[in-house]
Amino acid sequence: MELFYIILYSVLGLVIGSFLNVVIYRVPAGQSIATPRSHCPNCGHFLRSWELIPVLSYLFLKGRCSKCQQKISWRYSVVELLTAMLFILAFFFRPGRTMSGLFLDFIFISLLIALTFIDIDTFRLPDVLVILVAAVGVINALVTKEPVIWQSLLGAVIAGGVFFLISYFYAKGMGFGDVKFVAALGLYLGAPEILAAIFFASLLGAISGGLSLLVNKKSLKDPIPFGPFLAAGALIMFLFQHQLFQFYYSIT
């Protein structure tokens, strides 16, 4: 039975990942995600059904448009595979979730992926997607009660409040988009999980910043999008919170 769900959620993740590529490309540009049909950004060639199969079409086309032969970014397949992988991890590492809860988890994961790559590309976190994260967080608390609504609201207030103060006193180091995003994450994760997510986000950000200084010769003044680290920290707590808390209690 588990094999059936692995295949099911893998296929679902690949399909949703393909759609997320459209979201990542079009939402920052203010374009509709429904029309026009998927097409080559170089020559405008509308993709046929066999050119839209996640990952396989990329491999079959050898990473090039079938008409103009322009290279297709490998990132499209990465987004599709990442979505599928996280869907499967959510199925295995969040036991006891109802189908409605798992459905909400998949929406949450999808939004985090979209926001991550948009922030990497544009240094922006579109309000429309952040609002959706917040809405899904409230619905999750009301429907599944994991977390209960007061923990959800407390997580949003604490995380959003801390980041608001950082943004207020150090505007160059923290954008207001991060403030809204972390508050939305607090709604889905609740308190105290959101605080642990922020810790992991900060740790990953510090490691990444240090590596950029050493490898890419960047300076401390170069901007680094923090949204992807917030998303990564949230996913760590989202998937492994039980194991992490058990480990914490075992050593205290």
| Same domain, yes or no: 118 and 239 | yes
Query: Which residue range(s) make up the domain with 240?
Result: 97-252
Residue 204 shares a structural domain with residue 176: yes
In this structure, are 220 and 239 located in the same domain?
yes
Residue 39 and residue 51: Cα distance in Å, rounded?
10
- The answer to whether residues 107 and 50 belong to one domain is no
Same domain, 89 and 182: no
User: Are residues 101 and 82 located together in one domain of the fold?
Assistant: no
Residue 238 pLDDT > 70: yes
pLDDT given for residue 103 in this prediction: 96
- pLDDT tens-place string over residues 166-214: 888 876 667 889 999 999 999 999 999 999 999 999 999 989 877 877 7
Indicate the DSSP class of residue 94: S
Co-location of 246 and 145 in the same domain: yes
In this prediction the pTM is 0.94
- Per the CB < 8 A criterion, the answer to whether 14 and 81 are in contact is yes
Same domain, 191 and 228: yes
Residue-level pLDDT at 138:
97
Same domain for 121 and 193: yes
Alpha helices per DSSP H over 123-175: 127-143, 149-169
Question: Left if phi > 0, otherwise alpha if psi is -120 to 50, otherwise beta: which for 148?
Answer: beta
228 and 241 assigned to the same domain: yes
Distance, in Å, from the CA atom of 196 to the CA atom of 233, rounded to the nearest integer, reads 8
* Residue ending a domain, choose from 64, 93, 122: 93
The answer to whether residues 102 and 215 belong to one domain is: yes
Number of folded domains that form the chain? 2
Q: Which of 66, 93, 120 corresponds to the end of one domain? A: 93
Domain boundary among 93, 117, 134: 93
87 with 112, same domain: the answer is no
Neighbour count for residue 181 (Cβ, 10 Å): 28
Mean of pLDDT values over 24-48: 90
pLDDT band for 218, please (50, 70, 90 cuts). Answer: low
